[in-house]
Amino acid sequence: MTILELREKRSKAWNAAKAFLDSHRTEKGTLSAEDDAAYSKMEQDINDLGKEIARMERQEQIEAELNKPVNTPLTSKPEANGNEPEKKTGRASDEYRKAMVEAFRSNFKRVSNVLQEGVDADGGYLVPEEYDRRLIDTLSEENIMRSLATTITTSGEHKINIAATKPAAAWIEEGGALTFGDATFSQILLDAHKLHVAIKVTEELLYDNAFGLENYILTQFGKALANAEEDALVA
């Protein structure tokens, strides 16, 4: 028997008990001993039904608690963590790279707003970060002097402090007086210079997917820049 059926049965029993009480009262408003025993029996049945209903309600609560999942289920989109790739922005984004390729193909007649990342004041539209990195990798492989030099990234004039004179060491007697030399420093001005390389290709070759033009240009440009840069460092 379900809880709902027990509640309906208790409700009917209570209505029957009230009707019995109203119909069996004497003129004095009391019950006879026999009727009192019958009413007490009806009242006991109602109490027993109430106890059984309470037991079944507690049983349902325990079962519902035991049936709860151990872990809370995911109801929203998981947040990004260290295992997921970070969304690229600026020159590193795919949108910037595609817009730059489109500008190349149209001889800069179709320039997207995405390319506002690099302005003319910084030397024109900047190449995508992926191209920049691949060019630098080729430069590092082809240019021996670059591995021996100090690389400074600058977009304009850059002042560098250097020592004009170097200290000299001298042997002295134990406990002898120390001599101090004068060290002088100066500055040199490192200006920004543009190293240029460009080639012409036909429109047919530009749209020929069978030929890896992008990789070829990046590799050959990197080697050309490396040779010119090395000549300037050695000269």
Give domain status of residue 79, yes or no.
Answer: no
User: Same domain, yes or no, for 132 and 194?
Assistant: yes
pTM, full prediction: 0.39
Indicate whether 26 and 52 sit together in one domain. Answer: yes
Which of these ranges, 11-20, 34-43, 208-217, has the smallest mean pLDDT?
Answer: 208-217
Check whether residue 110 and residue 132 sit in a common domain.
Answer: no
Does a structural domain hold residue 172?
A: no
In a domain, 177, yes or no: no
**pLDDT confidence tier of residue 178, bands split at 50, 70 and 90:** confident
Asked if residue 147 and residue 98 are part of one domain, the reply reads: no
Interval 58-81: pLDDT, tens: 888 888 888 776 666 666 665 555
Please provide the DSSP assignment of the chain as one string. Answer: --HHHHHHHHHHHHHHHHHHHHHS--TTS---HHHHHHHHHHHHHHHHHHHHHHHHHHHHHHHHHHTS-SSPPP-SPPPP-TTSPPPP-GGGSHHHHHHHHHHHHTTTSS--GGGGGS-GGGTSSPPPHHHHHHHHHHHHHH-HHHHHSPP---SS-EEEEEESS--------TTPPP--PPP-EEEEEE------------HHHHT-TTS-HHHHHHHHHHHHHHHHHHHHHH-
State residue 120's pLDDT score: 46
Residue 218 within any structural domain of the chain: yes
Range of the domain at 45: 3-66
* 145 domain-assigned: yes
235 and 136, same structural domain? yes
- Number of domains the chain is built from: 3
pLDDT digits over 200-224, tens only? 777 676 666 556 667 777 788 888 8
Taking all residues of the chain, what is their mean pLDDT, rounded to a whole number? 76
On whether both 142 and 193 belong to a single domain, the answer is yes
Check residues 133 and 56 and name the one with the higher pLDDT.
56
